[in-house]
Amino acid sequence: MLSCCSPEPFCPLQKRGVSPIPSAGTATPQQSETKLEALEAKDRIYCALDTPDLAAACGLASALAGHVGGLKLGLEFFAACGPDGFRKVAETGIPVFLDLKLHDIPNTVASTIAALAPLGPAIMTIHAGGGPAMMRAAVEAAAASADEADMPKPLIVGVTVLTSLDNADLARMGVADGVDGQAVRLARLARDNRLDGVVCSPREVAAIRAECGEEFLLVVPGIRPENTGADDQKRIMTPRQAVSEGADILVIGRPITRAADPVAAALAIAASLD
């Protein structure tokens, strides 16, 4: 059975002008309270491990350690493997982005953030569409839990418009001004309610960067290297295009995890950014 090893940990996230928080001696391998600056190309890449198979996820995590900036674990993995699975993947020392896209009343989201934060995720997601009170509750719960556990606060980012949706989908949902208008509106709301950043497709990066500023973290899925399929993503760009638009973190799953050689695929994507 595959298992996760523990290579020398590294921290691809940092505030502008602030040194990374050292991982030695801390309660968790995950590093947070951060903003990307002057990263190596590989450190922008977070590989999405969208699988319910713990052994497969750990094998990929161990193989990719040192070749990507972080890993993303989503609902599929967490529903199957739970907190213990998260801890096992986190043994690699790579920052882990826990992408559960929480969306509920403020008290429930705050309680869930408080329960999950001690796992030590570098980043957590909530839906920006949950509204101002929910966003503020999430940020406050993350800060309080981090203080209580004496560990870095996870970055809380708001999901704007899922990359599987397009203007026609939003119109059927009653959103008249399309993806761009909705994404920028939700990003502005997230910024105003103290979220660290948002998740958006590469197509909205430039508009959100212009609206919300350089310090606002943009986590960007819908990344497809040249000559790869779109799968179920409707709003995509190549890695190089997305970074040129202003993306910080590139979330890339199937082009790496389904490659014959995932490490080679990750290295090729990083090389395309140089």
Cα–Cα distance for residue pair 208/219, rounded to 1 Å:
11
Cα–Cα distance for residue pair 89/92, rounded to 1 Å:
6
Smallest Cα–Cα separation from 209: which of 167, 217, 123, 162?
217
Instruction: Look at the chain and count its residues.
Output: 274
Phi, psi of 249 (to 5 degrees): -105, 130
Does residue 101 carry a catalytic annotation?
Answer: yes
Helix boundaries (H) for the chain: 54-64, 75-90, 106-116, 132-149, 167-172, 178-192, 205-212, 239-245, 254-257, 262-273
The single residue of 35, 101, 153, 234 carrying the catalytic annotation is 101
Cα–Cα distance for residue pair 189/210, rounded to 1 Å:
14
CA 88, 233, 122, 155 torsion: positive or negative?
Answer: negative
Residues contacting 150, CB < 8 A, separation 6+: 27
Residues contacting 232, CB < 8 A, separation 6+: 164
Tracing tokens 């212009």 back to the chain, one arrives at 210
Q: Which two tokens stand for residue 183?
A: 């994404």
3-state secondary structure of 239: helix
- Contact 90/30 with Cβ under 8 angstroms? yes
Point out the residues that are catalytic.
101
